């Protein structure tokens, strides 16, 4: 994939547990040759990608893909907005109208979709 087509994606809620959708998402992004930053609550590895904990400063994030429920998202509002992504994908079970409104006000596109489907349909 040409570098110009790569979208650095931060997966929030990344898990070392292979049955979790966040784990599958990181693996799928890597298979699709996207640059991935995995951020979760537990350190670990997904393929060769280290899961970072906390709120690491990451440059040039194109997309944030959320895999944490709305009740845990408030702590990350300012962090995600500070990354200045072009879009934030709310995967099934994570849709949060309050946060989506804040993102729109910040000029960031909120998308309520399944990132795995977007990748598989070549619509990422």
Select the CATH number that applies to the domain covering 3-120 from these four: 3.40.50.720, 3.40.50.11310, 3.40.50.1820, 2.60.120.620: 3.40.50.720
What pLDDT is attached to residue 26? 98
What pLDDT is attached to residue 54? 96
Neighbour order of strands in the sheet with 87-90: 44-46, 49-53, 36-40, 9-12, 63-66, 87-90, 109-112
Q: If we measure between CA atoms, which residue out of 97, 93, 44 comes closest to residue 65?
A: 93
Could you report the average pLDDT of every consecutive run of 10 residues in the chain (124 residues)?
A: 73 98 97 96 96 96 98 97 98 98 98 93 78
What pLDDT is attached to residue 31? 94
What pLDDT is attached to residue 81? 98
What pLDDT is attached to residue 124? 80
């Amino acid at each position: 994939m040409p570098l110009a087509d790569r979208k650095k994606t931060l997966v929030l809620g990344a898990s070392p547990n292979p049955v979790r959708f966040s784990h599958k998402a990181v693996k799928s992004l890597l298979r699709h040759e996207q640059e991935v930053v995995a951020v979760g609550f537990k350190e670990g590895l997904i393929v060769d990608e280290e899961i970072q904990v906390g709120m690491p400063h990451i440059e040039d994030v194109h997309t944030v893909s959320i895999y944490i429920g709305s009740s845990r998202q408030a702590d990350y509002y300012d962090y995600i907005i500070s990354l200045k992504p072009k879009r934030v994908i709310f995967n099934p079970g994570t849709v949060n109208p309050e946060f989506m409104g804040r993102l729109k006000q910040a000029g960031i596109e909120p998308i309520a979709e399944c990132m795995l489907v977007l990748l598989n349909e070549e619509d990422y």
